[in-house]
Copies of this chain bind each other. A is one copy, B any other.
Amino acid sequence: MVSAAEGAAIVRRAMTVLLEPVPAHVPLPTGFRAAGLHCGLKKNRQLDLGLLLADQPSPAAAIFTQNQLVGAHVHLCRDHLTRGNGLVRAVLVNARNANCATGAKGIEDARRCCRELAERVRCPTEQVIMASTGPIGAPLPTELIVSHLDALLERVSADGAMDFARAIMTTDTYPKALHATGPHGTATGFAKGSGMIHPDMATMLGFLVTDGHLGEAKANVLRSLADRSFHCVTVDGDTSPNDSLFLLASGRVRGDVHRLEATLTELGQQLARRIAADGEGATRLITVQVRGARSEAEAIRVGRVIATSPLVKTAVAGLDPNWGRILSAAGRAGVAFVADRTRVWVGPADVFSGGAPHPENEAAAHRHLVGDQEVMLGIDLACGSASADVWTCDLTKDYVQINADYRS
């Protein structure tokens, strides 16, 4: 058998292959432009201020964190989307400051940034929204941001997607932008963060822009695609006060709404997988496959408990096809099933079924953990026909190191 250390080295190489396709260029749908620049929030002249600009006010929808602690931009976006009837011209994003736990002043600071940008774009203030990501508790450096708005607008272009993707990164190790196209419209998606992994770095932001048409369905489409993508990724179960997902659908291209929804969902899933793969300290992307559930909601619930179990995640780090931990984690999800009827697999190998473990298959399971780019852990609950996939990463000593030393 390959040792954990050798295996980690092998898989780290594999992860690099998996994640390599960071495209040099990502197009934007017609009618959208983007930019990113360095305004002084990050060190080393890294991009830290991003802009997404729609040529015309675009129908938009958003969903936000369920955390009781809520970043200032969440209050502001809710207010602007309501008062602006869901039409958005510009999305401004800053990194390296969460503008969270900053009180009424924080909301006023965000509004000032939007107002200043709206004046320059010549649109109502409500058509500008803002998102912030970074450490909690420090006041937003409003002057610094406002003084760079002109330069940001000068740079805005149809080729600006990768600059925008870079500007919104915090502890991400690579920018996350993807493009999809079809007769029902093209779409570009952006994400930053590692799910719920850095609440101090307040955290997951997602942006989807499309020239397709969703009409009144846009809010439902966004919620539904989020349930199948960003809500299915977990790194450590810690949600952030700033988590936000935005969808701008300009409606230039008229096509089938359901096919557009499928495209957007796929885009969201690909971005979500990249978030899990980029989890702090991760050496492996894990896909938890739940099958045979009574409902998709129950399948997701079981998948999320397996995907947040420290014992499952450390077992993967240790290249251990530990079916007992997978079954035990499933058992505490609050979903009824008969353990003896379940089937548990690791990659291509069944490791538990018919009420008994299969030690003879553990070598094949171990090989999968060692060599494959993406680890598959599965359970069939034998209760129904619903299924779900949930994405996460392994839990390594590097995760503990990164988070123990974060502020020192």
Evaluate whether A407 and B68 lie within 8 angstroms (CB atoms) in the complex, with A101-B355, A239-B328, A239-B332 already known. Answer: no
Whether a CB of chain B sits under 8 angstroms from the CB of A55 is no
Pick the residue among B66, B315, B403 that contacts A314 (CB under 8 A). B403
Evaluate whether A403 and B315 lie within 8 angstroms (CB atoms) in the complex, with A325-B200, A340-B103 already known. Answer: yes
A338 to B311, CA, bound (A): 34
B67 touches A400 (CB 8 A): no
A66 touches B332 (CB 8 A): yes
B406 touches A318 (CB 8 A): yes
A391 to B405, CA, bound (A): 23
Whether a CB of chain B sits under 8 angstroms from the CB of A330 is yes
CB-CB < 8 A to A395: which residues of B? Answer: 310, 400
Whether a CB of chain B sits under 8 angstroms from the CB of A397 is yes
B404 touches A328 (CB 8 A): no
A–B Cβ pairs within 8 angstroms, 20 of them: A68-B330, A68-B331, A68-B338, A68-B339, A69-B330, A69-B331, A101-B339, A103-B340, A136-B328, A202-B328, A238-B332, A240-B328, A310-B395, A310-B399, A315-B403, A318-B406, A318-B407, A320-B404, A396-B400, A399-B400
A130 to B334, CA, bound (A): 26
Q: State the A residues within 8 Å of B (CB).
A: 1, 3-4, 66-70, 101, 103, 135-137, 198-200, 202, 236-241, 308-311, 314-315, 317-320, 322-325, 327-333, 335-340, 352, 355-357, 395-397, 399-401, 403-408
A301 to B373, CA, bound (A): 37
CB-CB < 8 A to A352: which residues of B? Answer: 101, 137
A239 to B328, CA, bound (A): 7
| Smallest CB separation, A335 vs chain B (Å) | 7
Oligomer: number of copies: 2
A328 touches B69 (CB 8 A): yes
A317 touches B400 (CB 8 A): yes
A406 touches B357 (CB 8 A): no
A3 to B66, CA, bound (A): 35
Task: Name 6 extra pairs, CB < 8 A, besides A67-B331, A236-B311, A239-B331.
Answer: A101-B324, A136-B324, A200-B325, A240-B328, A241-B328, A397-B397
B68 touches A336 (CB 8 A): yes
| Smallest CB separation, A4 vs chain B (Å) | 6
Q: Name the residue on B nearest A310 (C-beta).
A: B236
| Smallest CB separation, A352 vs chain B (Å) | 7
CB-CB < 8 A to A237: which residues of B? Answer: 308-310
CB-CB < 8 A to A238: which residues of B? Answer: 309-311, 325, 328-329, 332
A309 to B68, CA, bound (A): 16
A325 to B397, CA, bound (A): 19
B236 touches A357 (CB 8 A): no
Q: Name the residue on B nearest A302 (C-beta).
A: B68
CB-CB < 8 A to A69: which residues of B? Answer: 327-328, 330-331, 339
Evaluate whether A408 and B101 lie within 8 angstroms (CB atoms) in the complex, with A332-B68, A403-B311 already known. Answer: no
Q: Identify the interface centre among A70, A310, A338: most chain B CB within 10 Å of its CB.
A: A310
CB-CB < 8 A to A241: which residues of B? Answer: 328, 331, 339
Q: Name the residue on B nearest A319 (C-beta).
A: B408
A68 to B240, CA, bound (A): 30
Pick the residue among B1, B199, B315, B331 that contacts A328 (CB under 8 A). B199
A320 touches B4 (CB 8 A): no
Evaluate whether A311 and B397 lie within 8 angstroms (CB atoms) in the complex, with A404-B4, A406-B318 already known. Answer: no
A408 touches B311 (CB 8 A): no
Evaluate whether A324 and B404 lie within 8 angstroms (CB atoms) in the complex, with A101-B339, A309-B238 already known. Answer: no
A211 to B403, CA, bound (A): 48
